[in-house]
Structure 1
Amino acid sequence: MNRSLFDALRRGGYIFYARHGEATVGRDLPNLNFQNCLTQRNLSEKGRRQATYYGEILRSLQIPIQFPVSASPFCRTIETAQLAFGSGNVQVDPFLVDIYRLSGDLISSERQGILNNLLFMLERIPEGGNKVIVAHSFPEGVGLGQIPDMGTVIISPKGQGSGFEVVSKLSLSDFSSLGS
């Protein structure tokens, strides 16, 4: 990890788009209910450790985070965000379900609408730290692409209507070496 990126992250103004920690094997049930975690894949024990470590490493590196952090309504994303940043520091963003839906069968206009809304979200420059979004990976070649468990895409927003730049894609172990 290069020093200039580390210094830039400590100044703030970036968006950290993080995928949730490792989830249990299987699929979300067809009768998925956001209020019932039994209808969803949830964090595994390893995923819980990853989420806790993620928050610890960002705090130890003194990377400023803007609160509340945003999480998709799935139990695994909310739990990831709560373990990393504290339960009082998480706000559910219903739009982030649409990122999950990109992996399904969508008509092209619906897919494009989701990607346009994502662009709008990722163009907004955060004030007072770095914005954290805990959500889902993307299908290969779509949006921010595939993201490993607890991986983070570092985004530099250019302001509304001006797009954004993907600065880096970091695994959880990349963060460990960030300060060295």
Structure 2
Amino acid sequence: MPKPFRRRPLALMAIAVLIACSASVGSAADPGKVDPRGLIILMRHAEAPGVGDPPNFQLRDCATQRNLDANGREQARRVGDRLRSLAAGEARVYSSQWCRCLETARLLDVGAVQELPVLNSFFERREEQDAQMASLRRFLAGLPADGAPVVLVTHQVVVTALTGVFPASGESVLLRANGTDKPAIEERIKTDGSR
């Protein structure tokens, strides 16, 4: 069960996610250079070895899915540890309904996690991609340009379809809400700390 929502400084929290998603903590963006208003942190779930899901995959049965390994859990906790080392603030956290995404989002421990089906994987259901991406774009268009940061934990196929970026596990793409269905792509934070 997720822990109660905690308040944290918005600017520091957004930077903390970037820092924690990087293997080299000291190489993240300068906190003074990121405006937290309207920031969207689009994150691929943490390390979950393998590709796709087993043939007997069931959405509500984690035993049938590809899940985080110990490295993935530690990767997600490092993000959360970094966030909790900072003072108070606020972010909305949304996740795919897949277990590896929900576990990543919960291990961040930065707020109540809400399931958002438009973040689900369509890796083995490519015929659903266009409709799903249209729904995700409508969701993004509704995010206010001056709103609190939003963390979206999802899958490689969703990140790639939305941004053209092929992210590694735990990698993030920073977007900026702008009142349209095409939020501006600000930068890519790779797992090795480079941009």
Counterpart for residue 95 of structure 2: 71
Counterpart for residue 158 of structure 1: 178
* Structure 2 stretches lacking a partner, 5+ long: 1-27
Counterpart for residue 67 of structure 2: 42
Cα distance in 2, alignment partners of residues 129 and 142 from structure 1: 24
What secondary structure, in the 3-state scheme, does the structure 2 residue paired with 1:167 have? strand
Cα distance in 1, alignment partners of residues 116 and 155 from structure 2: 13
Q: Answer yes or no: is 1:93 the counterpart of 2:113.
A: no
Task: Indicate which of 120, 142, 167 corresponds to 1:147.
Answer: 167
Correspondence list, 1:129-140, <5 A: 129-138=148-157
Cα distance in 2, alignment partners of residues 166 and 27 from structure 1: 26
Tell me which moved more, 133-142 or 114-123. Answer: 133-142
What is the identity percentage for the equivalent residue pairs of Structure 1 and Structure 2? Answer: 28
Residue 10 of structure 1 deviates from its aligned partner by 5.4
Residue 26 of structure 1 deviates from its aligned partner by 5.2
Counterpart for residue 44 of structure 2: 19
Cα distance in 1, alignment partners of residues 88 and 37 from structure 2: 7
The TM-score, its normalising length taken from structure 2, stands at: 0.72
Consecutive aligned runs of 4 or more in structure 1 exceeding 6 Å deviation: none
Cα distance in 2, alignment partners of residues 15 and 141 from structure 1: 15
Residue 96 of structure 1 deviates from its aligned partner by 1.5
Q: 1:171 to 1:59 in 2, by over 3 A?
A: farther
